[in-house]
Amino acid sequence: MDDFLAENMDRVIAKKKGLKRKHWFYIVGVVVFLTLVLIIIFGDYTSTYKVEKDKLTIAEIKKGQFNDYILVIGKVEPIATVYLDAIDGGRVEEILIEEGTMVKKGDVILRLSNQNINLNILNSEAQLAEKENFLRNTLIIMEQQKIQLKRELLQLYFDIQKKKRTYEQNTMLLKDELIPRENYLESKESYEHVTQLRQLLIERARQDSIYRKIEIENMNDNLDNIRQNLKMVRERLENLNVKVSVDGQLGMLDAELGQSIGTGHRIGQINVLTDFKIEAQINEHYIDRVRRDLTASFDRQGKSFFLKVKKVYPEVREGLFNIDLVFTSEKPHNIRTGQTNHIRLQLGQPEEATLIPRGGFFQSTGGQWVYVLDETERYAMKRNIRIGRQNPQYFELLDGLEPGEKVITSSYDTFGENDRLILR
């Protein structure tokens, strides 16, 4: 028995082969860890959104001709509008022509009254009469002075002749010593005196003549001014008859019987209907591209009518600026002021380009990206693009897409910020 125990105690016990229970825990842990690593590395984190495909608008990118134009609403207006302003204010006494009436140049539309102008006319007429009387009296006095001066010159002439004879006689008598020398000297001095006096009188007559001429010219100028002033005052009286300055149609009349109208007040306007123009408002985005002589057209009555830009107004109001267009060929036969038309304004020549149809996506993305369908059309991925010019039908695509690819062009408002759309 002891030998048996000794033999068994000396035997080496062999270990069991195979995986133990704890080893399985290790293996499972490693597999889970590797799985998580693979998921982290190769996992798809793209945010997705499911949409109904039949509710979307899908368009194909294509190569074609880009027609560079914009569509604007134009309003038919007369080729010119002449405003009626009150040159002189007054009270409306009579209205002779109503709005909408065709008028001719010179027709009286309404009559005003102004008592101040009547008083000015009376004062000017009285002033003119006073000045004319003063001029007549002055001319009479000057003429009398002129006659008196001539009379003095004539009398002096006779005195000179008489004293000359006396002087010459005394000269002869003095040689024969028949008179005293004193008598000779007196006759000589008297003759020389009247001769010098005659020169002074002639100089005075010359000066008086110059003075009279200047004085008369001044008075005549003064009278002319008064007459001109009276004429202008009378013209002011005539201006109280408000007249038409051109042929046309009385488009607006802002006046009522008994109304007091101030100087410069706008009474109405005349529409010149010899031709028409079209006024349009354009978004300020195009202000650098719109210029004179650009062509435009619109369709009406089954025909196309052609125009060109005549004037571009530089002022921008509330994001819009105005242009005037005129017809380059025939006009619609029943064209009327106030009619509106959809005008195609050509900004440039047609060019070959990659085209993407317009759609609601632009409001959501600003044209910076779109959802592009894969080949199976089962889902669509977000992709950045670059857009250039635009017209009412297409955007010009500069980068990001190729012809043949399909994109969603309807609104993206319900898609949120998802990068991928799953189409059902």
Between 8 and 301, residue with greater pLDDT: 301
- Position 43 confidence tier, pLDDT thresholds 50, 70, 90: very low
Q: What is the pTM of this model?
A: 0.56
pLDDT of residue 354: 93
Q: Which of 209, 239, 269 is the last residue of a domain?
A: 239
Do residues 172 and 153 share a domain?
Answer: yes
Do residues 278 and 203 share a domain?
Answer: no
Checking if the pLDDT of 288 tops 60, the result is yes
Do residues 344 and 274 share a domain?
Answer: yes
Mean pLDDT of 345-360: 91
Mean pLDDT of 110-137: 83
Closest C-alpha to 402, from 356, 365, 363: 356
Do residues 303 and 160 share a domain?
Answer: no
Q: Is 380 helix (H, G, I), strand (E, B) or coil?
A: strand
| Distance between CA atoms of residues 24 and 17, nearest Å | 14
Cβ–Cβ < 8 Å for 375, 402? no
Tell me the backbone φ, ψ of residue 58, rounded to 5 degrees.
Answer: -115, 130
Q: Which of 330, 348, 366 is the last residue of a domain?
A: 348
Between 332 and 5, residue with greater pLDDT: 332
Beta strands in 338-393, from DSSP E residues, in sequence order: 340-346, 351-357, 369-373, 379-384, 386-390
Please give the mean pLDDT across all residues of the chain. Answer: 84
**pLDDT per position as a tens digit, 296-338:** 999 988 899 999 999 999 899 999 999 999 999 888 888 888 8
Q: Determine the number of helices (DSSP H) and then strands (DSSP E) in the chain.
A: 5, 22
**pLDDT per position as a tens digit, 243-270:** 888 888 888 888 888 888 888 888 888 8
pLDDT of residue 1: 47
Domain hosting 281: range is: 69-111+244-348
78's enclosing H/E stretch is: strand 69-85
- Domain of 366, CATH number, reads 2.40.420.20
Proportion of the chain in helix, strand, coil states, percent, rounded to 5: 40, 35, 30
Do residues 181 and 230 share a domain?
Answer: yes
Beta strands in 120-181, from DSSP E residues, in sequence order: none
Q: Is 291 helix (H, G, I), strand (E, B) or coil?
A: coil
Closest C-alpha to 247, from 267, 275, 271, 266: 271
Percent of the chain with pLDDT over 70: 90
Do residues 127 and 226 share a domain?
Answer: yes
* Number of domains the chain contains: 4
**Of 5-14, 27-36, 133-142, 366-375, the least confident:** 5-14
Q: Is 98 helix (H, G, I), strand (E, B) or coil?
A: coil
Checking if the pLDDT of 12 tops 60, the result is no
Cβ–Cβ < 8 Å for 227, 125? no
**pLDDT per position as a tens digit, 160-188:** 888 888 888 888 888 888 888 888 888 88
**Of 196-205, 322-331, 378-387, 397-406, the least confident:** 196-205
Do residues 273 and 418 share a domain?
Answer: no
Checking if the pLDDT of 374 tops 70, the result is yes
Q: Which of 190, 216, 239 is the last residue of a domain?
A: 239
pLDDT of residue 385: 93
3-class SS string, 299-332: EECCEEEEEEEEEECCCCECCEEEEEEEECCCCC
